[in-house]
Each structure stands twice: as C-alpha cells, then as structure tokens.
Amino acid sequence: MTVDLDKYLKPGKDHYIALGLEGSANKLGVGVIRHNQGQLTSSNRAEVLSNIRDTYIAPPGEGFLPRDTARHHRNWVVRVIKRALAVAKIKGTDIDVICFTQGPGMGSPLQSVVIAARTLAQLWKIPLMGVNHCVGHIEMGREITGADNPVVLYVSGGNTQVIAYSKQRYRIFGETLDIAIGNCLDRFARTLKIPNEPAPGYNIEQMAKKGKHLVNLPYTVKGMDLSMSGILANIDSIAKDMFGKQNKQLIDEETGEPITAEDLCFSLQEILFSMLVEITERALAHVNSNQVLIVGGVGSNQRLQEMMKLMIEDRKNGQIYATDERFCIDNGIMIAHAGLLSYRMGQVTDLDHTVCTQRFRTDEVFVEWRDD
C-alpha cells in the first residue's frame, strides 16, 4: 500500500518547504528543501534549495569540547540561517515547517541550535519537527542516490551501525560495542597530532594512501557487533613508542623497511574497514539484499567505498550507494528532508516536547512515511 504524503497539503499549494537545523557535533548546518506535491520518485525528487555549513575546528592534538562547540554554534547560527534563506531565495513566511536535530548528539551544541529553532518557530508562527539524526542521514542518502531498500552502513564520529528497514522501523542489525569509528580515527589523529582542518579523518585518509606496510592490529568482530577501543589502545601504544620519548623504530618483517606514521594510518583503516565490510555482508545475507548504502561522515572515505564495492560485486546484481561530502558529513538539508517527510504525515513536535536528548536510538523512530 502506497503512503499518502499529501493528506495535509495546505489549500492552494502544490509544494512544501522545510528549514533544517543541525548542530549535534562540531558541524553547524542549515538547509532548505522543497518537496513538490506527490510521491517522491525518480521523476519527482526533493529539491535542495540551500545547504550551508560552518565547522568548529579545534587546535591540533585536541578534540572539540561541548562548551566550545556550543559557543561556536550560538555565535554563527543566525548568520548561517540568513545565508541559507538568501541562497534559497525565500522568506521565513514561505516555510511550512522548521526541523531540528533532537538527538543523538552532544548536549550543549544540540541545545544551542534548538533554541534558534524554537525562536524562529514562534517569530514566524511555524510548526516544529524534531528529527533523529541517524534517520536524517538514511533518508537523505536514499533520496540523493535513489537506493530503494538497501542495507545501511551508518558510520560517523558518534555512531557505527548496520541497519535494515522492516515494518516501519530502521532495525539495527549490528553496531559498535564501545566507541564509534569516527571517534576512533579522530582520537588516533590526536595521538599523531594530525591537523583537525579540514577534518582529522580526511587527513588520516590522505596519509593512509601513502602507507604500504600492514601493521598487525587486533581484529574484533563479535557476531554482528564490533569493538574498536582495543584496536585504538593498541595502535596508540605503538605510535607512542615510535614518536614518544623512546623514539623506538619498528621494522616491517617482510621488507625490512621502517614503519612510518603513514603505515599506521593505512593499517588502522584497513582493519577497521574490513570489520565493517564483514558485518555488512552478514546483514545482506540475513535480509537477502544486494544493495548497500553508506551514510555518515566516514562514509565519504574513498577506501571504505572501494572495499565495500569489492564485496558487493561478488553478489548477484550487487549495488553500492554513497554520497559525497555535501551530504555524508552532517548537514542541515538531511534534517529538513527527514523532518518534512514526518510533517507530510501530519506529525509536528509541540514546543513542550522539543527537549533534545543525547541518546536517541535509530530504531525508536516510527517511519510512518514508508510502507511496510
């Protein structure tokens, strides 16, 4: 049965416009999206009117602290919203719904952005819609790539999950038992004092391209779940021996050549991504699917996409879908899109229920806009 997305279309209108605000981590994103009347199909795609982002960048060797990130968001949110509206060429009164990230994420940055959303909603007398950050990534990935019903690998600084859709829920088939993959990469970048600009994970990716020796690291897959804290502790220890006071030189046993920082980055990526490919392949077999969609900031890593492609090509008619950094990395447009889908089903978030939460599971969301 096809879901009716136009039951709540305002009289005299043939489209919907949503403003999306994202601020769950160090990216402050504001986006404006337009849905035309009717089902979203290959011939009736959502239209991105603007997608503006500003990033808080911490000094090298440091992570972004909640209070500093929240201060950045408070300082920039009005300017970024104004720019997004200007690029979209709309006024506040043209907007049907204001969507905001309700969680998961860092408490203080989330709170900074929801205050802006509440203020605009009351100024312009527009309803609010709270959005699960993870569902935002999934729905934007599906819309941009055209993936129908894929197994989703969601990999970011705060989340690592393998997800499949069933009966109006995004079911989690496997996930990290401790730290997320993006957090693992970022923390290793701090150990090596790799710059945080444009992003520590991106800089590790570039260094890994120059690595050629695979350092032996733990490989920790437990059924459909994985663990990364032990791998991080192990490679941190190796790096501190190599570049700390001991200045210990490691030699590759096969070639006799010294191990470099680039080799460590290469090894960390290869082990972590191999683990992700393994649990994703197991989920594909479980749900009998041949499509993989990679979303989240780490999803823009070309080596991860390459490894996933090698796996999916072994399956009959296998397809891999991924987006570029405009949509992989946290952004406001994904919040606008997912929120607008909810709004089109008649959902809104009352002002009393706009409290943000740091813990908001992907499978808690009732996906009313998709059929069974």
Q: Is 288 annotated as a binding residue?
A: no
Q: How far apart are CA 369 and CA 5, in angstroms?
A: 7
The three-state (H, E, C) secondary structure of 23-84, written as one string: CCCCEEEEEEEEEECCCCECCECCEEEEEEEEECCCCCCCCCCHHHHHHHHHHHHHHHHHHH
Q: Which residue type sits at 69?
A: T
Q: Which residue type sits at 90?
A: I
Q: Is 158 annotated as a binding residue?
A: yes
Q: How far apart are CA 116 and CA 33, in angstroms?
A: 18
- Residue 9 tokens read as 């279309």
Residue 335 near residue 20, CB atoms below 8 Å: yes
Q: Is 342 annotated as a binding residue?
A: no
- The number of angstroms, rounded, from the C-alpha of 210 to the middle of its chain's C-alpha atoms is 26
Q: Which residue type sits at 61?
A: G
- Residue 160 tokens read as 């690592």
Q: Is 178 annotated as a binding residue?
A: no
Positive or negative torsion for Cα 359, 329, 174, 265: negative
Q: Is 330 annotated as a binding residue?
A: yes
Omega before 104 within 30 of 0, i.e. cis: yes
Q: How far apart are CA 20 and CA 29, in angstroms?
A: 8
Q: Is 56 annotated as a binding residue?
A: no
Residue 77 near residue 28, CB atoms below 8 Å: yes
Q: Is 156 annotated as a binding residue?
A: yes
Q: How far apart are CA 183 and CA 202, in angstroms?
A: 13
Q: Is 321 annotated as a binding residue?
A: no
Per the annotation, where are the binding residues for a divalent metal cation?
133, 137, 154, 330
Per the annotation, where are the binding residues for substrate?
154-158, 186, 201, 205, 301
Per the annotation, where are the binding residues?
133, 137, 154-158, 186, 201, 205, 301, 330
